[in-house]
């Protein structure tokens, strides 16, 4: 399939946290379905590299380097995408971070960073994007627009050592469902994808001690790949407008939690 021939042709998709991992894989998947893809993240060099790859395959890609934890910059980033590409049909809120460790000795800075990225960043992008998604749903030949939030199995299962990460992801799940009900009759589909253990950079950002604990927990598991989650996102947003896939839980096949 060429980059312009898929079911998302003539649509525009925005992916946050697009510089690596699930975000980069999702951008590739949506471009392969024909969408023009806006890549949002903080690492411009990586975003430019991915954009060059997508353009080389015949796709349309835009780079917006911004920190979405800044409310005004998040809003400006969304407006920049619409200004450059003309519309906004799909948003994938993928940007996120993880911190682990017992509550009693976890650094407060780590908690604040999770809340800033996993919750505030997602809210800021959603708030800025929603009016454009509502307009796209009215004007698109597909008759629908999509907002997909990337959560986690940690949004379903609370475990010792992940209390604040659980807080953020349970919050994402609750927000997603409430917003879905608000806009369901306006043809904006709101969905959540909950990945299990995925082979990404996420654990590499953990502090010493916490990183080793996570590595021990997943030792022996065959981890999911970012492309596995991108497949789930692609499935959601390419359904006919009569179909809404509200939630997809994707675990590694031998993951128990």
pLDDT in tens, 31-63: 999 999 999 999 999 999 999 999 999 999 999
User: Region 106-113: what's the mean pLDDT?
Assistant: 95
CATH of the domain at 233: 3.40.50.720
How many Cβ atoms from other residues are within 10 Å of residue 148's Cβ? 25
pLDDT(89) > 80: yes
Instruction: Give a yes or no: residue 7 inside a domain.
Output: no
Instruction: Give a yes or no: residue 2 inside a domain.
Output: no
Asked if 26 contacts 50 with a C-beta cutoff of 8 angstroms, the reply is no
The residue from 92, 98, 165, 214 that is catalytic is 165
Instruction: Give a yes or no: residue 1 inside a domain.
Output: no
Model pLDDT for residues 199-256, shown as the tens digit of each residue: 976 656 665 666 656 666 677 789 999 999 999 999 999 999 999 999 999 999 999 8
Instruction: Give a yes or no: residue 158 inside a domain.
Output: yes
Per the listing, tokens 């060059």 go with 52
Instruction: Give a yes or no: residue 82 inside a domain.
Output: yes
Instruction: Give a yes or no: residue 256 inside a domain.
Output: no
Q: What's residue 220's pLDDT?
A: 75
Distance of alpha carbon 9 from alpha carbon 71, whole angstroms = 30
Interacting residues of 216 by C-beta distance below 8 A, sequence separation 6+: none
Query: Considering its fold, how many domains does the chain have in total?
Result: 1
235 is catalytic: no
What is the span of the domain harbouring residue 136? 12-250
Q: Residue 29: pLDDT band by 50, 70, 90 thresholds?
A: very high
Q: What angle do CA 62, 65, 69 make, to 5 degrees?
A: 130
Instruction: Give a yes or no: residue 45 inside a domain.
Output: yes
Instruction: Give a yes or no: residue 5 inside a domain.
Output: no
């Amino acid at each position: 399939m060429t980059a312009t021939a898929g079911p998302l042709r003539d649509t525009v998709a925005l992916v946050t946290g697009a510089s690596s991992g699930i975000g980069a894989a999702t951008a590739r998947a949506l471009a392969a379905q024909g969408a023009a893809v806006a890549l949002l993240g903080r690492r411009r060099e990586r975003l430019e590299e991915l954009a060059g790859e997508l353009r080389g395959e015949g796709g349309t890609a835009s780079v917006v380097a911004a920190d979405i934890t800044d409310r005004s910059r998040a809003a400006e980033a969304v407006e920049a995408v619409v200004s450059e590409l003309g519309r906004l049909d799909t948003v994938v809120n993928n940007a996120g971070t993880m911190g682990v460790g017992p509550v009693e000795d976890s650094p407060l800075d780590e908690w604040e960073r999770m809340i800033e990225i996993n919750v505030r960043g997602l809210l800021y992008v959603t708030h800025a994007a929603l009016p454009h998604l509502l307009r796209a749903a009215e004007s698109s030949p597909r008759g629908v627009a999509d907002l997909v939030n990337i959560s986690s199995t940690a949004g379903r299962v609370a475990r010792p050592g992940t209390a604040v990460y659980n807080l953020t992801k349970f919050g994402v799940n609750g927000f997603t469902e409430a917003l879905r009900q608000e806009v369901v009759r306006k043809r904006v589909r709101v969905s959540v994808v909950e990945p299990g253990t995925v082979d990404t950079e996420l654990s590499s950002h953990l502090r010493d001690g916490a990183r080793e604990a996570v590595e021990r927990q997943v030792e022996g598991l065959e981890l999911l790949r970012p492309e596995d989650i991108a497949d789930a996102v692609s499935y959601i947003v390419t359904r006919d407008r009569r179909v809404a896939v509200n939630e997809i839980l994707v675990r590694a096949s031998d993951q128990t939690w």
